[in-house]
């Protein structure tokens, strides 16, 4: 049963990602990204990282995608024209894709599929998480909080209009 679920969730993670790369409208891309993130959260749940699965949905689908949607509607709505195709870059990208995939598959063919995981109690319960975050990773936790504050101040500073009196926003 878990095997079938794994393949379903893996497909749910990867197929929307591929469609995202090839979709023309950025709003559609944001919607496909939701699917991909939900697939990732399901994979986390299969790996018994339940708290991370919840966090993935809350932070990514709840916050990041909403941000992307806002900006996509603000910026990208008026440009339905397709971007100019650059075949050199396309070839480079597909080459990189095939090479990375082949590399991974070759490495796995060499080592075999590996063994099943040992049955352990769900390691990432919220209590365990809190314990490790406030003991071993206390400093990193505080620095992350400071980083979020810095990001917030930076975003406010960047997105503020340069000077309120002058409202010229035309392209040069």
Q: Does residue 133 interact with other proteins by CB under 8 A?
A: yes
Q: Least separation, in Å, of the C-beta of 165 and other proteins?
A: 16
Q: Does residue 37 interact with other proteins by CB under 8 A?
A: yes
Q: Which of these, 47, 44, 37, 13, lies nearest to 117 by C-alpha position? A: 47
Residues 142-171 that bind other proteins (CB under 8 A): 144, 147-148, 150-152, 154-155, 158-159, 161, 169-171
For other proteins, the binding residue among 8, 18, 77, 126 (CB under 8 A) is 18
Q: Which is nearer to other proteins, 118 or 165 (CB)?
A: 118
Distance CA 60, CA 54 (A): 10
Q: Least separation, in Å, of the C-beta of 38 and other proteins?
A: 11
How many residues touch other proteins (CB under 8 A)? 89
Q: Does residue 49 interact with other proteins by CB under 8 A?
A: yes
Kindly report the three-state secondary structure assignment for every residue of the chain.
CHHHHHHHHHHHHHHHHHHHHHCCCHHHHHHHHHHHHHHHHHHHHHCCCHHHHHHHHHHHHHHHHHHHHHHHHHHCCCCCCCCCCCHHHHHHHHHHHHHHHHHHHHHHHHHCCCCCCCCCCCCCCHHHHHHHHHCCCHHHHHHHHHHHHHHHHHHHHHHCCCCCCCCCCCCC
For other proteins, the binding residue among 35, 56, 142, 163 (CB under 8 A) is 56
Q: Does residue 26 interact with other proteins by CB under 8 A?
A: yes
Q: Which is nearer to other proteins, 159 or 164 (CB)?
A: 159
Q: Does residue 21 interact with other proteins by CB under 8 A?
A: yes
Residues 78-97 that bind other proteins (CB under 8 A): 79, 83-84, 89-90, 92-94, 96-97
Q: Does residue 44 interact with other proteins by CB under 8 A?
A: yes
Q: Does residue 137 interact with other proteins by CB under 8 A?
A: yes
Structural contact between residues 30 and 7, judged by C-beta atoms closer than 8 angstroms:
no
């Amino acid at each position: 049963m878990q095997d079938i679920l794994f393949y379903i969730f893996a497909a749910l993670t990867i197929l929307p990602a591929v469609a995202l790369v090839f979709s023309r409208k950025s709003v559609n891309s944001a919607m496909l990204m939701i699917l991909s993130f939900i697939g990732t959260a399901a994979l986390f749940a299969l790996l018994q990282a339940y708290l991370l699965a919840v966090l993935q949905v809350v932070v990514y689908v709840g916050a990041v995608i909403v941000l992307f949607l806002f900006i996509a509607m603000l910026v990208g709505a008026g440009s339905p024209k397709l971007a100019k195709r650059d075949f050199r870059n396309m070839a480079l990208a597909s080459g990189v894709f095939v090479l990375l995939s082949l590399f991974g598959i070759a490495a796995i063919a060499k080592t075999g599929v590996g063994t099943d995981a040992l049955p352990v109690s769900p390691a990432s319960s919220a209590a365990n998480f809190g314990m490790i975050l406030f003991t071993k990773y206390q400093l990193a936790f505080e620095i992350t909080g400071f980083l979020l504050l810095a990001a917030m101040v930076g975003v406010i500073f960047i997105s503020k209009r340069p000077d309120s009196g002058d409202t010229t926003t035309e392209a040069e």
